[in-house]
Structure 1
Amino acid sequence: MKKTIYLLFAFCLFACTAAWGQQLQRRPFLGVQVSPVTDSLAAANRLSGTQGAFVRRVIPNSTAAALKLQVGDVIVRVNGTPINNYMDVPAMARQFRTGEFVTLDLNRKGKQTTVKGKVQPMPFETDPNAEVRYGEVPLPDNRYARSILKKLKGKGRFPTIFFVQGYGCSSLDNLPAEDPQRQLIDGLVARGYAVFRMDKPGSGDSQGSKPCTEIGYQEELEAFTAGLKLLKQDPAVDPENVFLFGHSLGGNTAPLMAAQEKVKGLMVYGITGKPWFEYLLEVYRDQRTLLGADYVQVDQDMRTVVPLLYEFMILKKTPEELAKNPAYRTALENIMDYDGQGHLYGRHYTFLQDLQDLPMSQAWRDANAYTLAIYGEADVAALDPSGAQLVVNLVNSYHPGKATFELLPRTDHGFMEVGTMQEHVKRRGSAEESTFRPRFNQKLVELVDTWMKDKIKRA
């Protein structure tokens, strides 16, 4: 039975507009957010098994919308190819070509159905109140990553925020208006900041790289650092007031970037301040008991999980090697989403192994930037405030007075108001969960704006 584990990541697919990139073309746009088919989802939707990809959202003006996909559909085949793991869908969607025909076989409320139609291109993001400028970040070996700068209309140099996304390979291009990342970006633009974002190599419009799911962490970090260097040269950006906002795993990436390319300040949300081996141990023990798992069963499971994680994260054994142990294989498949093809949690296994070796304390020291570490009160993925507080203590030990901790009440890992941690956990799996509609916490915008204004005034 698969166990739901909440790590520092999530997966999804997704005025004037100026395109100043010359190499990149608009990609085909499937336009669905998908997740694994868990045992509970299979039972609730009268499915015969857990194969396929569960449709959680259909994005307007997309191929999925044109094909009339519905939330709750399970995609079981794409162009006749079975979907064994939900991440097969974004991988296959990257091979689509705009204008060609696509066939999706679905399980819809227990019944089989097929939809067909033409692949639609990703529309450009527009905003009647802002300028949305599309560009690209040149990378070595003739590779390019899509970038987007959004700001109020008009000339001048703007204090600028580089939004650094987390673990997944989702594109940040033309996010739905209700997406909490989009609401954070738009809220900050409305307060007078320019906000920069870029897609990872191998995702979105980006070209020349292997698919994002196949690259290692260092390639991702190098791309973001190249984007930061390019951003600081933009005539619309005030180079003396560039800030990074790192969400989730992006909170680890941000100080590594800033250690190489100096910035005024770092803001991080929902992070772990510990090495990833230690963080994963806490996830598999503390998070599971927080979510209601039996303590005795967790103790028994950890007898397998601890040596498995040590051999994987520290000794750098491959999943294929580890899966030769039947107990390890069960754990890999049930709690680490192992697909039998070298992927864990939708990324190549080397990506996770890279995370263990990051020199995080050194990066925070060398960044020497004003730091705001935020923890959402109901952030199950980050577990508790200790990760953010650890970062604050670390920075202040080298640069006294430069780091601040803030607790954002009633807010989860995705910036949504969900109540206290206890209310959030209690709601999970209950009848209330299906009708509860969380909303983006606008207080995050106010918190960031107030902190940035104070730091901008300082030399």
Structure 2
Amino acid sequence: MYKHLIGLLCSILLSVVLATPGSALDLGRRGLLGITATPLPAGAGSIGPGVLAARVIAGSPAAQAGVVSGDVVVSVDGTPLAAVDDFLREVRVHRAGDTIRVELRRAGQPLTLAITLGAVPFETAFGVDFTYDAVTTPTGLRRTIMTTPQAPAAGRRPAVLLIGGIGSYSVDYSFDPDHDVAEPYRRLLTALTRRGFVTLRVEKSGVGDSEGPPAKEVDLEGELAGYVAGLRMLKQRPEVDPERVFILGHSIGSVEAPMAAARDPVRGIVVMQGVGTTWFEYELVNVRRQLELEGLAPAAVADRMALKEWAMHRLLIEGQPRAALLAERPAAAAMIKYPASDAYLRQVAALNLPALWAPLDLPVLVVYGTADFITSEADSRAILQNVNSVHPGRGELRIIDHMDHYLTDAADQATSFKAPRAWDLTPARHPAYQTAIESVVGDWLVAQAGHSG
């Protein structure tokens, strides 16, 4: 604990965090409870609803109120919790300073606590300044986090906008002395900042400090609005050269990156672990690959693939209501379980993904990791072909051995498929960040930006 405290103090002394309290763009800070929740162990649900407090951050409001690891969180403010998503939803609507009522079950006995939420701390990093601001979208303000090198610059700097993968997750990573596992996005963006780039992240709707409906209810256009607004913000910053702004798109960010660039031009695009065919084709190939990695017999794989095709076509292509599909074939629920809204997926499925690249005559770096089980090398080569077929020589492909979809290290697809993730909450077992991504992306960006970072 002592070494973590010293590290935090050094970071605070050597990193500047800028915000503008009281301004029109001051969103306030989201509330910090300090409980990491996981589903109840198999069989535990028979004693009632709830989620497991798998970890309680030392010194957090939850810890100070008396919550301990192993407690079952039954409800928040009277709302029963049937899943981790319920817990996150009930906590995330609150800001720092709010008091919530948490009902627990400890060793079978009920316990109710009133807990006043703290403020999630701002990020810090050695040699990097952080600016917390916001952009305006039709559904409200979205939190932005900009990093700037502290080292002096001869002129205005190149910049990178991150467009991450699908889902309702935060890209605002704060210091946690008990769980100091750096997120790959943060690691990569910090490395780029130290090479002279300004970087920008935009929180999704309803995530972190952002206003608006939950990200899982937003459609593609609604999500894209935040990234386009962020792109325009970057170009208007006095420290940024508007002619040297890039987009870094990861996973489904490979779809949104060319869409954003078509609305506001950029110098170049990096796509990592992306999709290059139609979404329908991609999903079928991806699901088959994962079923086979799971070890299912060929006949079982064939049955599930038939169900997947049936459900996905009706939901995404024909636009039939989800409830009607599941009423007809309840087993299809697992085949159309998405971390985004049906409207979002329908809009993605309707896109001609190769055609997105046609109007963009700019350099594109395509990156694929050989241990990625969510996309394939064929997907990345399809993106490369999409670019070079209309703009010969503009696309390049880099393959990184032993990197998986999460930008972490794995021997192969099977190893990554079976590995625990950050949400499995076993810090000692987290896969290691694949540092090769920093040089592959960083070297290309430096060359394209024309500076010596």
TM superposition shift of 1:394: 0.9
TM superposition shift of 1:434: 9.2
Q: Which residue of 2 aligns with 1:296?
A: 299
Equivalent residue in structure 1 for 2:341, among 336, 348, 354: 348
Q: Which residue of 1 aligns with 2:447?
A: 454
Residue by residue, what CA displacement relative to the aligned partner does 1:56-111 show, whole Å, maximum 9, x if unpaired? 76667755565576777664422232122332222212322432332334567988
Matched residues in 1 for 2:427 and 2:232: separation?
44
Task: State the number of aligned residues.
Answer: 423
Matched residues in 2 for 1:213 and 1:157: separation?
37
Matched, 1:18 2:15: no
Matched, 1:148 2:145: yes
TM-score (norm 1): 0.83
**Are the aligned partners of 2:326 and 2:332 in contact in 1 as well (CA < 8 Å)?**
no
1:359-438 pair list within 5 angstroms: 359-382=352-375, 384-425=376-417, 436-438=429-431
Question: CA separation of 1:135/1:72 partners in 2, compared to 1, >3 Å: closer, same or farther?
Answer: same
**Are the aligned partners of 1:105 and 1:114 in contact in 2 as well (CA < 8 Å)?**
yes
Matched residues in 1 for 2:87 and 2:214: separation?
13
Q: Which residue of 1 aligns with 2:201?
A: 197
Question: CA separation of 1:256/1:426 partners in 2, compared to 1, >3 Å: closer, same or farther?
Answer: closer
3-state SS of 2:100 partner? strand
Matched residues in 1 for 2:383 and 2:231: separation?
22
Matched, 1:248 2:251: yes
Letter of the 2:236 partner, please give it. Q
Unmatched tracts of structure 2, length 5 or more: 1-14
Q: Which residue of 1 aligns with 2:121?
A: 123
1:10-409 pair list within 5 angstroms: 15-20=15-20, 22-23=24-25, 24-30=27-33, 37=39, 42-43=41-42, 48=46, 52-53=50-51, 63-64=61-62, 66=64, 75-106=73-104, 116-140=114-138, 143-153=140-150, 154=152, 156-176=155-175, 178-207=182-211, 209-325=212-328, 327=329, 329-332=330-333, 334-337=334-337, 344-345=338-339, 347-382=340-375, 384-409=376-401
Question: CA separation of 1:151/1:435 partners in 2, compared to 1, >3 Å: closer, same or farther?
Answer: closer
Question: CA separation of 1:335/1:193 partners in 2, compared to 1, >3 Å: closer, same or farther?
Answer: same
Matched residues in 1 for 2:69 and 2:368: separation?
31
**Are the aligned partners of 2:277 and 2:354 in contact in 1 as well (CA < 8 Å)?**
no
Give the root-mean-square deviation of aligned CA atoms: 3.0
Q: Which residue of 1 aligns with 2:437?
A: 444
TM superposition shift of 1:256: 0.7
TM superposition shift of 1:451: 1.0
3-state SS of 1:380 partner? coil
Matched residues in 1 for 2:407 and 2:318: separation?
35
Question: CA separation of 1:426/1:79 partners in 2, compared to 1, >3 Å: closer, same or farther?
Answer: closer
Question: CA separation of 1:364/1:95 partners in 2, compared to 1, >3 Å: closer, same or farther?
Answer: same
3-state SS of 1:87 partner? helix
Question: CA separation of 1:73/1:415 partners in 2, compared to 1, >3 Å: closer, same or farther?
Answer: farther
